[in-house]
Structure 1
Amino acid sequence: MAARPAPADRFDTRLLAPMMLGAVLNPINTAIIAVALTPIGVALGAPANETVWLISALYLTTAIGQPLVGRLVDIFGVKPLFLTGGALVAVAGLIGLVAPNAHSGLWWLVVARVILGLGTCAGYPAAMHMIRAEAERTGIRSPAGVLTTLSVTTQTVAVIGPTLGGLLVGAWGWRATFAVNLPLGLASLVLGWIFFPRRTGLEPPAGQRPHIDWTGIVLFAGSMLGLLVFLQDLSARLSWLLVVALLAGAGLVRWEFRAAEPFIDVRVLVGNGPLLLTYLRATLTAIISYTFIYGFTQWLEDGRDLDATAAGLVLLPIFLSGIVFAIAFGRRAEVKWKLTIGSIAQLVAGVLVVLMTGGSPIWFLVIGMVVLGIPQGLNSLAIQNTLYFQADPERIASSAGLLRTFMYLGAIISSVIYGNVYGARATTGGLHILGSVVIGVAAAFLLITVFDRTLDKIGRTTVSVADAQEHQQLSS
């Protein structure tokens, strides 16, 4: 039976289920592993410097793969890339479920995380592509309600990940953090097949598709891989990787300036200063978020002597606070005041961390998490809305993928920071250093926000009748 046509003046809400599921696959797998690293290391006899590759493998794969898959979505459309991604996610879950219960099993899990990274690369770019396509179809200039829903699901799922991971590990063991991807991947296949259209109207016709810029892709991958691996282990013996990254980066810029159909349109990107600042804010936000998700979680287990389940529950208020603030203010399209309040909340959260000790009561830790939830809800929402208005519509998926690359760059910088600060054990003294880092990063975020006048224009327009109807529809 043919599906009924979508209303001409309203967002097709049937698309929400596959969009949101696809978009959360990456952040939930980024966060869910946080509380499983120690149990995996114990079960497989792997030290911390080896289990860390379970995090790094996903970071490296998605940092490189997100803009690549996003570009493929722009060219070939949402459906084929989304379905391929769902299949890879399911395969990764199966590998994690059958990996040997020996030291060699760790590298099975690393392979699973690489496959998982590739599979999750399609979700967020596909969602942003569909939102832009629906905006073009309906004439809704600012689909703030849908963007809010996307932001709430992606960012708050990233925060609830450790809590979910703690519950899964406590109930079924560490393999459950991999096995959960089997039903998630299959659900993505089913929902994507049923609800996503073959064409959205944004992708070029089959006979007019641009050539894939494989040279630009290889140079981008080489530059990012060299930089990210170097950042993972800051040492003189790996300094050659930094040289490789710089040379490949310079080659990328030179090539893309001359390419007729570039992988990353450097000419447009260099001339779009506001978009570059948006990417920088995404990096700074990720540094703070992942410092808490991983660095603070480690301290809860080592310095505060909480088990994995309890540590996950302490982080839960971030999720609740982020949900409340995102929903309460998400339908307002303005972004500057959201970013300003969010950066101030980040500063306060950093101060609270500096004041924490091994004997701090649980309620004090919870207050810190509630405060951190404010920027988790507001900053992520505002950055996503800003990207929507600043990016070229024809490259919305690849621009969204590049946003994720900058976020993972921030995540890796965060891992370098807390890895070098903590050393062998997450001490309270190390936590205080992390709090000071958070304060400094938040201050930089505040400065580049307050003095960015281009943010004043975003959302300062009259809301159309169609937009108002779309908001009312989502509310109901």
Structure 2
Amino acid sequence: MTRLARRSRGPRQGERSGFDRRLIAPMILGSVLNPVNSSMLAVALIPIGRAFDAPPSQTAWLVSGLYLATAVGQPVIGRLVDTFGPRRLYLLGTALVGAAGLLGTLAPDLWVLVASRVLLGFGTSAAFPASMSLLRSESERTGEKSPSGVLTALSISNQVFAVVGPALGGLLIGTGGWHLIFGINVPLSLACLVLGALWLPRATPPARATRTDTTGMLLFAGSLTAFMFFLMDPAVAHWYLPVLGLVTGAVFVRRELRTDEPFIDLRVLGGNPPLLATFARQLLAYTTSYAFFYGYSQWLQEGRGLNASQAGLLLLPLSATAIGVTALTGRRGQVRGKLVVGAVCQCLGVAALLLLGGDSPIWLLALLSAAVGIPHGLIGLANQNALYAQADPARMGSSAGLLRTFMYIGALFASAVNAVFFRDGATSAGLHSMAWLLVGVTAVFLLACVADRSLGRVGRDT
């Protein structure tokens, strides 16, 4: 009998042979906590900086803190879900989201606010692995390979909330200040706790307890943190930070390859160059994507002189276009064309930043936002499809987790890019300097897509 069959309240009559749709609400609400908090913050960085008299180079830690915690927390919590079941970790994670929201609302200074974002990162890491575990259990219970439409609903809901996040953040800031984008997590957390307590199944004891690789987790976090401290403030005097990051990273790799139950299973990379190339593309693409998203929103407010609500509305076309592109192209299995077109559009989009100035017309800003949504809708799905074709089926879970980890590392690099080029504020000069770097990153990304001949075989057999 599976975990979902042993419920404190048995399934209702008529639901035994199909997916338990009572699970959908807590799964969706929990999974959107990360994207909605990420996108709301994009329009809040400038107001927060003004409130604490902090430049963008410091407020960038609000972005880095979240993604450092998520990069570490996602694989750790995934293993804990396998050990203790999705219900406990879902409830604990969403409770942390509420605590983080309360801490952020009452934060007396910027660094307490950064701490709340770290707590938020760990909290929002629980819903995705919990939902995947629930889907697997429901598949076993119902005999269906993939519960019909549920994965699609989760994907669309994440994109929809990413769409409304900037506008919602602007509305909240306009109504009651930036504190509200943290405070809204309290009622969202309570809703998740109520729905989770009512409908999520209680776990049965696992067949075999899994061991948490605490040492590997600390080495990974230490290596990333050392690199981030250097990238956020690069200087010759800080030479020891990248050296520390490299040494710690080397020890981490050596340990993970020799550990039976590693924190991150690096063995999925062995002898698989196409998969390595997919991870590299993910890193390059999301470094550019996040740098544009956070950098452009800050420049709209400080360089162009718009308020947070107006900046939020101007970011709506980006996510709306991404959803439309995903819907139009999502059923096609071939990925090479998507990646090449996405890379070209991404390169043109960041190059267009060089044309912007303090008097750029609103229609041009909205048009640029919509155009950048095209690669956003193409690249993520294409890399995901490539991974499913390239990864060892026996290690698909580890491979998928690594894909998300490389995305988070890209987000960390992006926050460092914003910190360096907006050190004196989100000015047009800083935006243009950032654009030149991103043009170089997208050019490398395009070359990686064109040169990888293995991509031409992906999707042809489906």
CA contact (8 A) 2:60 2:418 kept: no
- Structure 2 unaligned blocks of 5 or more: 1-8
Could you tell me whether the CA contact under 8 Å between 1:132 and 1:396 is conserved in 2?
Answer: no
**Partner in structure 2 of residue 217 of structure 1:** 217
Quick one: structure 1 residues 337 and 166, their matched pair in 2 at CA, closer, same or farther if it must change by over 3 Å?
same
CA distance in 2, matches of 1:389, 1:147: 18
SS at 2:239 equivalent: helix
AA partner of residue 181 (structure 1): N
Q: Structure 1 regions of 5+ residues with no counterpart?
A: 463-476
The one-character-per-residue Cα deviations of 1:303-337 (angstroms, maximum 9, x if unpaired) are 22211111111111012111211222323344333
| Residues 325-379 of structure 1: per-residue CA shift (max 9 Å, x gap) | 1222323344333323322221231233233333222111111111111122222
Q: Please say if 1:85 is aligned against 2:84.
A: no
Residue identity (%): 50
1:16/1:136 CA distance change after superposition, 3 Å: same
Distance 1:389 1:324 in 2: 24
2:28 maps to which of 7, 20, 40: 20
The reply on whether 1:429 has 2:429 as its aligned counterpart is yes
CA distance in 2, matches of 1:149, 1:450: 32
User: What letter matches 1:23 in structure 2?
Assistant: S
Task: Confirm or deny: 8 A CA contact 2:223 2:245 kept in the other structure.
Answer: yes
In structure 2, C-alpha distance between the alignment counterparts of 1:460 and 1:233, rounded to whole Å: 46
**Match of residue 449 from structure 1:** 449
What count of residue pairs does the alignment treat as equivalent? 453
Counterpart for residue 227 of structure 1:
227
Q: Helix, strand or coil for the counterpart of 1:206?
A: coil
CA distance in 2, matches of 1:66, 1:308: 30
Q: In the alignment, is the contact (CA less than 8 A) between 1:125 and 1:396 conserved in 2?
A: no
* Cα deviation, residue 42, structure 1: 3.4
- Contact 1:157–1:319 (Cα < 8 Å) also in 2: no
**How far apart, in 2, do the equivalents of 1:426 and 1:144 lie?**
45
Range with greater deviation from structure 2 (435-444 or 409-418): 435-444
1:335 aligned residue? 335
- The alignment status of 1:282 with 2:286, answered yes or no, reads no
Partner in structure 2 of residue 71 of structure 1: 79
Match of 1:95 among 94, 97, 103: 103
Q: Which residue of structure 2 aligns with residue 183 of structure 1? A: 187
- 1:295-314 matches, within 5 Å, as 295-314=295-314
Distance 1:212 1:16 in 2: 29
Look up the equivalent residue of 1:280 and give its one-letter code: A
Distance 2:335 2:299 in 1: 33
Scaled by the length of structure 2, the TM-score of the pair is 0.87
| Cα distance in 1 between the residues matched to 2:373 and 2:57 | 30
Shift of 1:431: 2.4
Q: Partners in 2 of 1:350 and 1:58 — Cα distance?
A: 24
Distance 1:182 1:165, change over 3 A: same
SS of corresponding position for 1:260: coil
Provide the residue aligned with 1:472 in structure 2: none
**Cα separation, partners in 2 of 1:269 and 1:342, compared to 1, 3 Å:** same
What SS is found at the alignment partner of 1:18? helix
Shift in CA distance, 426/94, structure 1 to aligned 2, threshold 3 Å: closer
Kindly indicate whether the alpha-carbon contact (under 8 Å) linking 1:145 and 1:330 is maintained by their aligned counterparts in 2: no
Classify 1:384/1:361 alpha carbon distance in 2 versus 1 (closer, same or farther; 3 Å).
Answer: same
CA-CA distance at 1:131 after TM superposition: 4.6
What residue in structure 2 maps to residue 125 of structure 1?
129
Q: CA deviation at 1:288?
A: 1.7
1:206 aligns with 2:214: no
Note the C-alpha offset of 1:66: 1.8
Corresponding residue SS for 1:208: coil
State the distance in 2 between where 1:385 and 1:144 align: 19
Alpha-carbon spacing, 1:238–1:352, altered in 2? closer, same or farther (3 Å): same
Report SS of the residue matched to 1:406.
helix
Per-residue deviation, residues 400-445 of structure 1 (Å, max 9, x unmatched): 4433332222122222223323331333333233333333322322
User: How far, CA to CA, are the matches of 2:269 and 2:132 in structure 1?
Assistant: 18
Tell me, in whole angstroms, the C-alpha distance in 2 between the residues paired with 1:329 and 1:261.
38
Greater alpha carbon shift after TM alignment, 388-397 vs 374-383? 388-397
Q: Distance in 1 between matches of 2:84 and 2:394?
A: 12
Q: Which amino acid aligns with 1:22?
A: G
Q: Secondary structure at the match of 1:182?
A: helix
Deviation by residue 1:256-279 (Cα, 9 ceiling, x = unmatched) = 222222222222333333333332
TM-score of the superposed pair, with normalisation by structure 1: 0.84
Q: For 1:9-408, list aligned pairs within 5 A.
A: 13-46=21-54, 48-99=56-107, 104-131=108-135, 146-155=150-159, 157-198=161-202, 206-388=206-388, 390=390, 399-408=399-408
Q: Deviations over 1:204-263 (max 9, x none)?
A: x62422322223222222222222222222223332222222112111222222222222
